Structures are given as C-alpha cells and as structure tokens.
Amino acid sequence: MTPDRLATHLSVNSYGSFTLTDAIRPGAELPVRPRQGYRVEVYRDQRAKLRLPMLSAAVSAERLFETFLALLEPLGEVVHVVLESSHGTTSDGHADLRREHIDLAVLTSHFCEFEELLTHDGCTGVAVLANRRPIEVQFDEHKLFHIYAPNLKPFRRVLRDHGVRRRETLSLISEAEHLHHTTEQFADDFRQLAMRAGVGDFDRVFSD
C-alpha cells in the first residue's frame, strides 16, 4: 500500500453508524469491519478449573465513555483497579499496575479527568474488579469492553440502555490485523493517571 493510500485509510473513522476513536484502526484490507454490538460466551481456564460467563462489546465513540462509567456501577462502592500500558514497547509486552481498595467514586473522578487518554490512546487499557466477588470490567487498548461475571444481566441491561444490542456473531477489531495510535503526550498522561490512582511501580512503565 502506498503512503497516500495508507494515510487515506487511517483518516477514516466511521463505518456506517459506527465511529472509532483515535486509538485504533482496522488493517488496510479491512479484515474486520467495525460495528456496534456485544456477544456472550464462556471464559475457561483449564488450569484453574474455572468457567465464567463473559461478554465482549464494541461501542461507538460518541457513547463509549459514558457506557464505560455505567458498566462500573454494578461493581460496588469499593473496587480494585489495574492500569495497563504498552507505551514504549516494540512487541506485545505491556505493564500492569494495580491498586487495591479504592472508592469507585474517587476512581471514576480520575477517569473523567483523563477521558481523552482512556478513549483515544491505543496503548492504554484499564480493568476494574469488584471487591470480594469474581467480577471484572475491562476497557482495553482497542477500546473494547470485556466483562467477566457469574451474572451478566446487570451489564447487559447497561448495554441495552445505551443502545448496544446482542449479536450472535460479532467479530472484533482486535481479532484481525489492526493499527494502534498513541503519542508522547498520552504516555505522559498515563503516568499522571497512575500517580493519581496510586498504582505501584509506575516508573517501570517508562524504563528502557
């Protein structure tokens, strides 16, 4: 593909009624055409002998962040948070930085302050876990939601209320060739979010 054609491809952020954030673009041959929806499946961990219902969702950019905040509400008043960064990496590696026992209201306040980072940086992801219950909401660097919970009904209700419907088949942009976007400013913003959230060892995200 020529540089001009690639630039044209990268400038496209809408596919029908679905709008992407700046964080991610499908591969040049459009192996997966982005669309809104969610799918339900079962997560299996053979070693831990664990089976847990999960759903994955793609939400259009104009309602993405508000949907994220709404998906956190069923987790309870106190949660654990993991910030994920792949800034400065040249492979699939990333750093996970964890903080336990933080008030959800405080955490969402931090998230709102860094909305631009969370929605538009292709090297930042976050997971929020319930305290004492096996429930996790992931908002990954592809700007997809992955939710693990014994009971998915509260989360399916949130998605329905935000206009996201279930699809029996839904290919996700992360499952085929795709391109991530980030900037040095986003890397700095991630460091600031890590400091505000009080996660440990954030310096190692930027180590050589």
Mean pLDDT of 22-36: 88
Please, what is the average pLDDT of the chain? 90
CB within 8 A of 117, min separation 6: which ones? 124, 186, 189, 190, 193
Q: What is the DSSP letter of 54?
A: E
CA 33, 38, 42: angle at the middle one, nearest 5?
A: 115
Task: Please report the pLDDT score of residue 207 as a whole number.
Answer: 33
87 or 125, which is more confident: 125
Distance (Å, rounded) from C-alpha 61 to C-alpha 179?
A: 17
Model confidence at 49: pLDDT above 90? no
Size of the chain in residues: 208
Mean pLDDT of 163-175: 94
Task: Please report the pLDDT score of residue 91 as a whole number.
Answer: 56
Handedness of CA 35, 175, 68, 11 (dihedral sign): negative
Model confidence at 39: pLDDT above 60? yes
DSSP three-state, residue 30: coil
Lowest mean pLDDT: which of 8-12, 72-76, 112-116, 200-204?
200-204
User: What is the reported pTM?
Assistant: 0.90
Model confidence at 204: pLDDT above 60? no
Residue 48 near residue 164, CB atoms below 8 Å = no
- Domain ranges, ordered by start, for the chain: 31-202
Task: Please report the pLDDT score of residue 202 as a whole number.
Answer: 46
Model confidence at 162: pLDDT above 70? yes
Express each pLDDT in 135-158 by its tens digit: 999 999 999 999 999 999 999 999
Model confidence at 46: pLDDT above 90? no
Mean pLDDT of 82-86: 94
Share of the chain above pLDDT 70, in %: 92
Residue 154 near residue 140, CB atoms below 8 Å = no
Per 3-state DSSP, what percentage of the chain is helix, strand, and coil (rounded to 5)?
A: 35, 30, 35
In DSSP terms, which residues pair with 53 in a beta bridge?
42
Task: Please report the pLDDT score of residue 48 as a whole number.
Answer: 73
